[in-house]
Amino acid sequence: MTAVKNAGKASLTDFKKLLKEPGLLLTILILFYLLIIFVIFPIYQVLKTSLVYEGSLGFGNYVQILKQSYYIKPFLNSMLLGVITATLGTFVGFVFAYAITRTPMPGKKFMRLVATFPIVSPPFVVALACILLFGRSGIFANFFGDIYGLKGLVIVEVIAYAPTAFLALVGVLHAIDPALEEASLNLGASRLKVFATVTFPLATPGIVSAWLLVFIQSIADFGNPMIISGNFSVLSVQAYLQITGMFDLSRGATLAILLLLPTVSAYFLQKYLLSKKSYVTVTGKPTSATIKNLEWYIKLPVYSLCLLFTGMVLLFYGMVVYGSFQTLWGVNSTLTLKNYVIMWEIGKNYIIDSLTISAIATPIAGIMGMFFAYLFTRKKFPGKNLMEFSSMLTFAVPGTVIGIGYVIAFNKVSFLMPVTLTGTGFIIIVLLVFRNMPVGIRNGIAALQQIDPSIEEASIDLGADSSTTFRKITLPMITPAFFSGLVYTFVRSMTAISAIIFVVSGKWNLITVAILGFVDNSQYAQAAAMSILLIAIVVIALGVIKTITDRLGRGMTVVKVVE
Residues 290, 496: Cα–Cα separation, whole Å: 38
One-letter amino acid of 420: T
Across 32-46, 108-122, 130-144, 541-555, which has the greatest mean pLDDT?
Answer: 32-46
Residues 22, 25: Cα–Cα separation, whole Å: 5
The per-residue pLDDT for range 474-518, each reduced to its tens digit, is 777 777 777 878 888 888 898 888 888 888 887 888 888 888 888
The pLDDT of residue 292: 56
Residues 13, 374: Cα–Cα separation, whole Å: 19
Across 102-116, 377-391, 428-442, which has the greatest mean pLDDT?
Answer: 428-442
Report CA 306 to chain centroid distance, whole Å: 23
The pLDDT of residue 543: 80
| Residues 444/485, Cβ–Cβ less than 8 Å | yes
DSSP-assigned beta bridge partners for residue 52 = 57
Closest CA to 228 of 153, 137, 312: 153
The per-residue pLDDT for range 361-372, each reduced to its tens digit, is 999 998 898 889
Say whether pLDDT at 38 is over 70.
yes
Report CA 426 to chain centroid distance, whole Å: 22
Residues 222, 241: Cα–Cα separation, whole Å: 11
Burial status of residue 281 (CB atoms within 10 A of its CB: 0-12, 13-18, 19 or more): middle
Say whether pLDDT at 236 is over 80.
yes
Residue 192 is inside which H or E element, if any? Answer: helix 191-194
Q: Across all residues in the chain, what is the average pLDDT?
A: 82
Residues 271, 290: Cα–Cα separation, whole Å: 29
Total Cβ atoms within 10 A of residue 246: 11
Across 193-202, 263-272, 297-306, 459-468, which has the greatest mean pLDDT?
Answer: 297-306
Residues 26, 49: Cα–Cα separation, whole Å: 33
Residues 434, 500: Cα–Cα separation, whole Å: 12
Q: Report the predicted TM-score, pTM, of the whole model to 2 decimal places.
A: 0.82
Report, in angstroms and rounded to the nearest whole number, the Rg of the chain calculated over CA atoms: 25
Residues 488, 508: Cα–Cα separation, whole Å: 22
The pLDDT of residue 46: 92
Report CA 29 to chain centroid distance, whole Å: 28
Say whether pLDDT at 356 is over 90.
yes
DSSP codes joined into one string, 399-468: HHHHHHHHHHHSSS--SS-SS--TTSHHHHHHHHHHHHHHHHHHHHHHHHTTS-THHHHHHHHTT--HHH
Domains of the chain with bracketed CATH: 71-321 (1.10.3720.10), 339-554 (1.10.3720.10)
